[in-house]
Amino acid sequence: MALITKSLNSSTEAAQEARRLASPIVAMGVIIAILYIGRVFFITSIIAVTIAFILEPFVGLLMRMHLPRSLASFVVCTVALLFLYVAGLGAYSQLAGLYEDLPKYGQRIGDIVDGVQQRISNLEEQTYRMLVPARQRQQEEQDRLRAQQAKGKGAKKGAAPAPALPTGPGAIPEVRIHEERTAIGDYIQSHLSSFYEILLMASFIPFLVYFMLSWRDHINRSFLQLFQGEDRLIAARSMQGIVVMVRAFVVGNFLLGLLLASLSSLVFWAMRLPYPLLVGPLSGFMSLVPYVGLPLAAIPPLFAALGINTVPVYVGVVVAVAMLHLIALNLLYPKIVGSRVHLNPLVVTFSLMLFGFLWDAPGLLLAIPLTAALKAVCDNVKGLRPFGKFLGD
């Protein structure tokens, strides 16, 4: 009887242990599924929070001038929208000129592709000549010619005369109507619902940013009311840690991107590169993408350099982009951003992989601030501090 009781107790303990281990795994799977299914909603919300972090210092500056928060938020949001409108007009003028030059760029790209294919064919032929003996090559060429001749003779013998078409005055020629489809049209049609969702969610961003800025104090107080006693203090510290860490990352990267965009535009303008006001900001902000920033930053100016199509210009573009990228990441980034965002490289790599899989390109941009916010919460919650140490550097 004692053995049966002991075995039942051990079975119960094993079941409880398995349930305890399975619960976090199931919860993590549910969270990942929710993040993947609601990607458009979460990306829109996080972008709005990011913009609010960027604009909050300007709201605080106007509040020091004795403006109420609601009015200061409205003024800052209006100025930001005007800035985006002016930047959009400048980008549109550059894109209009680029659109007119697209045939020339297409011809240059076609020439480059043809040249690469020709070199690959020559390399394959040289490798074939080196590896295959001459006698075997001659035999293969003769067999190929015989096969072609036999095929041509068979086609002539078995060829049937084509039916004569009616040519009289009352003859009605056969008309075949078919719908021509293009790859771009098919892609737009298949992703039309996705485009609609993105545009719909993007239209909410200005309103979300304004309400986040104008109702910030009310939101903070209401959130803290959800906790009691010591938990309220922990929640306040966690929110403060998130604000400090994420603002350091977001605002620091934004300022660094503006600096790189300005310097890149000046350098490309000095090099007489076409469309410097378009490729400069693109190159500057793409340089901030983790791990792949350097090749991404080089793509826009190299494409613009096709209009000049000289080797010194290509080399100058690559050298300029590499120098700006290395200076920004090795000298400016640690002082502006890295002093407050303490994440080890392994965690950063895994977070980029995870959010890149879940949210594609936006996930690569949002992975580090989200992981930094998670670390801020773990550092302030007693039971989660080991995870915070694991995430840290």
Q: What is the mean pLDDT of the chain?
A: 78
Residue 340 has what pLDDT? Answer: 62
Residue 186 has what pLDDT? Answer: 58
Residue 5 has what pLDDT? Answer: 63
Mean pLDDT of the 114-124 span: 79
Task: Name the band, by pLDDT with cuts 50, 70 and 90, for residue 188.
Answer: low
Let me know how long the chain is: 393
Say if residue 179's pLDDT is above 50: no
299's tokens: 């793509």
The Cα 262–Cα 325 span in angstroms is 13
Say if residue 266's pLDDT is above 90: yes
All residues at 6 or more sequence positions from 360 whose CB lies less than 8 Å from its CB, including other chains: none
Residue 356 has what pLDDT? Answer: 85
Q: Tally the C-alpha atoms within 13 A of residue 128's C-alpha that lie toward its C-beta.
A: 11
Per-domain boundaries in the chain: 41-93+209-226, 229-393
Please tell me which residue, 321 or 132, carries the higher pLDDT value.
Answer: 321
Say if residue 386's pLDDT is above 60: yes
Task: Name the band, by pLDDT with cuts 50, 70 and 90, for residue 176.
Answer: very low
| pLDDT, tens digit, 9 for 90 and up, residues 306-352 | 878 788 888 999 999 999 888 887 777 777 766 566 778 788 888 88
Task: Name the band, by pLDDT with cuts 50, 70 and 90, for residue 82.
Answer: very high
Residue 192 has what pLDDT? Answer: 63
The Cα 254–Cα 250 span in angstroms is 6
Say if residue 159's pLDDT is above 60: no
Mean pLDDT of the 124-137 span: 68
| Tally of CB atoms within 10 A around 170 | 5
DSSP result, 55-114: HHHHHHHHHHTT--HHHHHHHHHHHHHHHHHHHHHHHHHHHHHHHHTHHHHHHHHHHHHH
| Cβ neighbourhood burial of 108 (10 Å; 0-12, 13-18, 19+) | middle
Please tell me which residue, 203 or 158, carries the higher pLDDT value.
Answer: 203
DSSP result, 115-183: HHHHHHHHHHHHHHHHHS-HHHHHHHHHHHHHHHHHHHHHHHHSPPPPPPPP-STT------------H
Own/partner pairs for 75-82, CB < 8 Å, 24+ apart? 76/213, 77/206, 77/209, 77/210, 77/213, 80/51, 80/55, 81/206
| Cβ neighbourhood burial of 352 (10 Å; 0-12, 13-18, 19+) | buried
The answer for 67, left when phi > 0, alpha when psi is -120 to 50, beta otherwise, is: beta
Mean pLDDT of the 277-298 span: 86
Residue 2 has what pLDDT? Answer: 59
126's tokens: 């040289």
Distances (CA, A) of 51 to 45, 58, 179, 387: 10, 12, 45, 28
Task: Name the band, by pLDDT with cuts 50, 70 and 90, for residue 178.
Answer: very low
Residue 311 has what pLDDT? Answer: 84
User: Which amino acid would we find at residue 152?
Assistant: G
Residue (of 377, 381, 351) closest to 366 by Cα position: 351
Residue 76 has what pLDDT? Answer: 92
CA atoms 140, 143, 145, 147: torsion sign: negative
The Cα 151–Cα 248 span in angstroms is 73
Mean pLDDT of the 252-271 span: 89
